[in-house]
Structure formats: C-alpha cells, structure tokens
Amino acid sequence: MSSFENIQQQLVEDFGFLEDWEDKYAYLIDLGKSLQPLDAAYKNENYLIKGCQSKVWLHAELEGDRIRYFADSDAFISKGIVALLVKVLDGQKPEEVLHGNLFVIDQIGLAAHLSPNRANGLGSMLKQMRAYALAYLTKTQNA
C-alpha cells in the first residue's frame, strides 16, 4: 500500500473507534486544531477558496516531486475538514492527488455530512487542491 492509502486507512481506523457523531466531530475539530499554522501572508483574498460559508485559505508549494499543502479556516469544522484533506494529500506526488483513490471521506462515517454537494465546501477545497496539483504536474513535466 502506498503512503497515500496508508494514511487514509489509519484515519478510517481512528474514526472507526468513535461511536457517535459527537466524538467524530470532536475528533474532526481536533484535527483542525493540530493543523500546522498557515503563514499570515497567505491569509488573504487570493488564497481564499470560493464556495464555503466560512473562510478557508489554501496555499500549496512544490518540494522536489512532492506537493505540500498549507491551510487554515475561521470555522472549526471547516478547518477540520481541510485538515483531513491536508493530512492525506500533503507530501504526495501531484499524480496521486489527481488520480489516487480518495476513499477516506466515504469510510470515516461522516459521509452523509461530508458529501461534496453539501454546503461544507469540501468539494471546493478538493477542487482547489487538485488544481494546484495539476498546475505543478504540468510544470514538472515541462521542466
């Protein structure tokens, strides 16, 4: 299993121990709180993800052949959601971000609440993260 899948598997297990929605949400919020702080320079309009009710900022960098993600939000739950994605996608290769099997959302038991068409911004976050991956992939291929 790739690290991409391993990380997701681990998260699925962690959430699996939690029985009710309160614990799952508390865990999600904690994930957000443990997110590496985003440099204040990136907390502006240009890094804002459109389509979320709360503010979610996202920045990405290429480090060798890996993509690094940094994010923050002014809401606890949005921050938890974006932290979940960062945990899985940070440090992966752009190809993995674009084409890898992202099963964590469906399997942590919050699928009904985290489905991309709900107003939680998950769809927009993922789209933006993939847009960065695509941009870097093009860049590395042209280099």
Partner 1 sequence: MHTDIHTDWAAVRNDFPILRESVNGRPLVYFDNAATSQKPQVVIDALVDYYSRYNSNVHRGVHSLSQQATSAFEAVRKQVQGFISARHEAEIIYTRGTTEAINLVAQSWGSLEVMEGDEILITGLEHHANIVPWQMLCERTGAKLVVVPINDAGEVSLQDFAEKLNPRTRMAAFSWISNALGTVNPVFEMVALAQAQGTRTLVDAAQAAPHSIIDVQALGCDFLVFSAHKMLGPTGVGILYGRLEILEQMPPVQGGGDMIKEVRFEKTTYNELPLRLEAGTPNIADVIAFGKALEYLQQLGMENIELREQELLAYATAQLKQLSGIQLVGTAADKRCVLSFLIEGAHPYDVGVLLDQMGIAIRTGHHCAQPIMDRFEIPGTCRASFAFYNSFEEIDRFVTALQKAQKMLS
Please give the positions annotated as active site.
52
Residue 74's closest CA among 53, 103, 99? 53
**Alpha-carbon span 134 to 113, nearest angstrom:** 27
Helix (H/G/I), strand (E/B), else coil: 92: strand
Polymer length in residues for the chain = 143
Binding-residue total with partner 1 (CB under 8 A): 15
29 touching partner 1, by CB under 8 A:
yes
- Contact status: 30 vs partner 1 (CB under 8 A): no
Residues 59-88 that bind partner 1 (CB under 8 A): 74-78
Residues 98-137 that bind partner 1 (CB under 8 A): 113, 120
Give the Å distances, CA to CA, from 32 to 1, 2, 5, 16, 74: 26, 24, 21, 18, 11
Beta carbon nearer to partner 1, 7 or 85: 85
Residue where the block lists tokens 């890094």: 47
CB of 138 to partner 1, least distance (A): 34
Taking CB under 8 A as the rule, does residue 43 contact partner 1? no
Site residues (vs partner 1, CB under 8 A): 21-22, 25-26, 29, 53-55, 74-78, 113, 120
